[in-house]
């Protein structure tokens, strides 16, 4: 049975947000709300902060999934598919509300001298800030939590990245301590159940993720990535995920709504063809653990797995108005997106692909071993039968040998392993969208791939003087050279 959400999510009157659409009205409301929690405990803050980390992973993943062509809208020329401007004020607010709660936990941890809570607070603060930085680049941070400043300045793209790295390093220092007098409350920790050692591994995992993101810059140091990985996850049991919900996993809700004809969560042709044998000439058994076979029989014209073309909408002829499941969508039968599945933040499988990429130039044997281990770990996480897993790993299309390993193969497999995770948007940009048969969406309003989001309307209306002006959606972030 899935865990019911037992905690009231709190937003503290003392947690100050650089929030665009909130401003003074937000605090006036808090000051008159008799039910508002004003003196939260560390366990309460841990519960709400770990919950929000999982929910924000879903929110960002769901909003970027069309940009990496995991999903596609069944309606032609949908805004998310064709790169039209979209107001993401709600997502921006959610990320800053989460950081406000974590910032309060951090201050309380300092006042109560708890190295464990301080370490976790730094991890969660860094994680939410990473998501903001990955989507928009420059963002408020240095002035973001000042209660008298509702128009904070924007720190540069690279400065925000540096802050996230600093927070992670601080977290590693604190979480390495074993003498904390106030330990993490296991019942309140919705990610690692109070396990300090796992949080330390997660800090190192996020550090490796941050370091590999700079792979195209002159400052990139592959050895530093491998060093961080050496202290991170060693198996799938270390994965960071949040599986405590009010009702069910958010992706499962998308899928169940789809089944009830409230449409959403249709899978892109790019992703389905990546798996169904069309693009690479090999059926990937993970497809059966990700989605359900369509009602269209498998034949030479339409395989049993059919994706929706981004920008084109449902294309089966004759059209069925999307009420017949003739194209694939997110499944509530999948170990990844069923009712009780965790919202995965970072996984062992992802880290093996980071290792493969980092080791590629200096140790091709290590890179190849990590590449295969990443595939295996992801298949095991998806509960692919061992015989099917091993057959895929042994196929010459996959088992190319260390001498023939390429970065394209590493990115190809990592694309599957990060299915629906926000990190995929970073990878497709680092890889310049160079996946086999990857194409621009039909009816796109831009002439090239989208590289970032427009600043939200709420932020432009409340903090417009500080919002960077004239930043096009095709403008690359500092690491996306």
CA 382 to chain centre: 17
Distance (Å, whole) CA 262 – CA 285: 28
Q: What is the CA radius of gyration of the chain?
A: 22
Partners of residue 330 on adjacent β-strands: 291
Question: What are the angstrom distances between the C-alpha of 28 and each of 13, 25, 33, 276?
Answer: 9, 5, 9, 55
- Residues 144, 141: Cα–Cα separation, whole Å: 5
Record the tokens describing residue 276, joined without a space: 């169904």
Supply the pLDDT for residue 300: 65
DSSP state, residue 332: T
Q: Are 474 and 444 in contact (CB under 8 A)?
A: no
Quick one: tokens of 459? Answer: 């932020």
Question: What is the reported pLDDT for 315?
Answer: 72
Render each residue's pLDDT in the chain as its tens digit; 481 residues. 333 333 333 333 333 333 443 444 333 434 444 445 568 999 999 999 999 999 999 999 999 999 999 999 988 999 999 999 999 999 999 999 999 999 999 999 999 999 999 999 999 999 999 999 999 999 999 999 998 999 999 999 999 999 999 999 999 999 999 999 999 999 999 999 999 999 999 999 999 999 999 999 999 999 999 999 999 999 999 999 999 999 999 999 999 988 776 678 999 999 999 999 999 999 999 999 999 998 877 776 667 899 999 999 887 555 555 667 788 999 999 999 999 999 999 999 999 999 999 999 999 999 999 999 999 999 999 999 999 999 999 999 999 999 999 999 999 999 999 999 999 999 999 999 999 999 999 999 999 999 999 999 999 999 999 999 999 999 999 999 9
Quote the pTM value.
0.92
Q: Is 275 helix (H, G, I), strand (E, B) or coil?
A: helix
Query: Taking CA 132 as the corner, what is the angle to CA 194 and CA 167, rounded to the nearest 5 degrees?
Result: 50
Determine the pLDDT at residue 23: 42
Q: What is the pLDDT of residue 39?
A: 80
DSSP result, 140-209: --TTTT-TT-SSPPPBPHHHHHHHHHHHHHHHHHHHT----SS---GGG-TTTTT-HHHHHHHHHHHHHH
- Report the pLDDT value the prediction gives residue 37, as an integer from 0 to 100: 55
């Amino acid at each position: 049975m899935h865990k019911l959400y037992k905690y009231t999510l709190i937003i503290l009157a003392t947690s100050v947000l650089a929030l665009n659409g909130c401003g003074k009205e937000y605090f006036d409301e808090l000051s008159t709300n008799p039910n508002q929690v004003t003196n939260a405990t560390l366990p309460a803050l841990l519960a709400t902060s770990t919950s929000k980390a999982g929910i924000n992973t879903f929110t960002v993943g769901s909003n970027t999934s069309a940009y990496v062509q995991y999903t596609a809208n069944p309606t032609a020329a949908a805004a998310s598919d064709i790169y039209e401007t979209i107001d993401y004020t709600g997502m921006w607010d959610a990320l800053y509300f989460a950081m406000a709660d974590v910032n309060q936990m951090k201050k309380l941890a300092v006042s109560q001298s708890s190295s464990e809570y301080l370490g976790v607070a730094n991890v969660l603060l860094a994680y939410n800030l990473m998501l903001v930085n990955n989507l928009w680049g420059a963002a408020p941070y240095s002035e973001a939590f000042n209660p008298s400043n509702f128009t904070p300045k924007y720190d540069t793209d690279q400065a925000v990245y540096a802050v996230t790295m600093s927070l992670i390093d601080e977290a590693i220092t604190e979480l390495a301590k074993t003498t904390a007098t106030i330990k993490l409350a296991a019942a309140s920790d919705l990610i690692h159940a109070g396990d300090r050692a796992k949080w330390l591994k997660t800090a190192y995992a996020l550090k490796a993720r941050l370091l590999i993101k700079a792979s195209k810059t002159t400052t990139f140091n592959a050895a530093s990535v491998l060093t961080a990985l050496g202290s991170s996850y060693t198996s799938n049991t270390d994965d960071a995920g949040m599986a405590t919900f009010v009702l069910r996993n958010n992706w499962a809700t998308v899928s169940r709504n789809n089944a009830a004809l409230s449409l959403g969560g249709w899978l892109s042709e790019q992703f389905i063809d990546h798996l169904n044998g069309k693009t690479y000439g090999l059926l990937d058994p993970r497809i059966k653990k990700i989605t359900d076979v369509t009602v269209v029989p498998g034949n030479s014209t339409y395989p049993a797995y059919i994706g929706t073309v981004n920008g084109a909408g449902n294309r089966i002829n004759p059209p069925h108005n999307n009420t017949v499941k003739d194209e694939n969508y997110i499944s509530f039968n999948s170990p990844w997106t069923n009712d009780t599945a965790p919202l995965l933040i970072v996984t062992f499988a992802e880290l093996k692909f980071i290792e493969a990429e980092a080791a590629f130039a200096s140790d091709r044997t290590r890179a190849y071993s990590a590449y295969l281990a990443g595939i295996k770990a992801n298949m095991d996480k998806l509960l692919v039968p061992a015989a099917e897993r091993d057959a895929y790993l042994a196929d010459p299309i996959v088992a190319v040998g260390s001498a023939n390993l390429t970065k394209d193969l590493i990115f190809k497999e990592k694309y599957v392993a990060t299915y629906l995770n926000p990190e995929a948007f970073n990878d497709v940009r680092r890889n310049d969208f160079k996946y086999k048969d990857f194409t621009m969406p039909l009816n796109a309003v831009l002439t090239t791939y989208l590289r970032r989001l427009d600043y939200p309307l709420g932020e432009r209306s409340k903090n417009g003087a500080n919002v960077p002006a004239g930043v096009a959606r095709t403008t690359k972030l500092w690491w996306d050279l």
